[in-house]
Structure 1
Amino acid sequence: MSPQSELSCRPDCGACCTAPSITSPIPGMPGGKPAGIPCVQLLPDRRCAIFGEPTRPAFCAGLKPSADMCGETRGHALAWLTQLEVATAPGRAA
């Protein structure tokens, strides 16, 4: 197993629940969420309240922690995911 596949979420991070936009419905956010806005399902300890639930968006379930994405700090993860959001935004010139 590669080191990246062994990573788990960093406690008190929640960067992946804040930085990216999510276009599919989320319980409590039927229109999804814009980039940079914390998901309503993000608990005070920055864990997902619907982790593993069928109502969790496929986008969330497909986003797996990796050394590149997560880095050593929450700040790194937020910056990395924000850059990815900008690079993949609809209408962005290639």
Structure 2
Amino acid sequence: MFCRSGCGACCIAPSISSPIPGMPHGKPAGVVCVQLLPDLTCAIFGDPSRPKVCKDFTPEQYVCGNSKEEAITILNDLESYTRSPKTV
């Protein structure tokens, strides 16, 4: 599967704990990555400074679904399923 044009869900929905250029502490879930361009492509795609988690992400039907909206929902669900429980 190839990235869906006009999507960018993987740059919005998930949290990223590693540094991103312009976001030295990563990004929380639901926050748009500063590297996401207006055309919803990545400004640092192919750049060595791109986080490993982003480099390793491969678009797959089970994650991307059939639309941007479905991808956001799936990624939000995955984010909540994998979130560490907060300790008191």
Q: What SS does the corresponding residue of 1:55 show, helix, strand or coil?
A: coil
Q: Which residue is 1:62 aligned to? A: 56
Match runs of 1:2-81 below 5 Å: 7-81=1-75
- 1:85 equivalent in alignment to 2:79: yes
Q: Which residue is 1:4 aligned to? A: none
**Cα distance in 2 between the residues matched to 1:38 and 1:91:** 23
Gaps of 5+ in 1: 1-6
RMSD: 0.9
Q: Which residue is 1:3 aligned to? A: none
Identical aligned pairs, as a percentage? 55
Total equivalences in the alignment:
86
Q: What SS does the corresponding residue of 1:69 show, helix, strand or coil?
A: helix
Gaps of 5+ in 2: none
Q: How far did 1:90 drift?
A: 1.3
**Cα distance in 2 between the residues matched to 1:87 and 1:54:** 30
Runs (4+) of structure 1 exceeding 4 A deviation are none
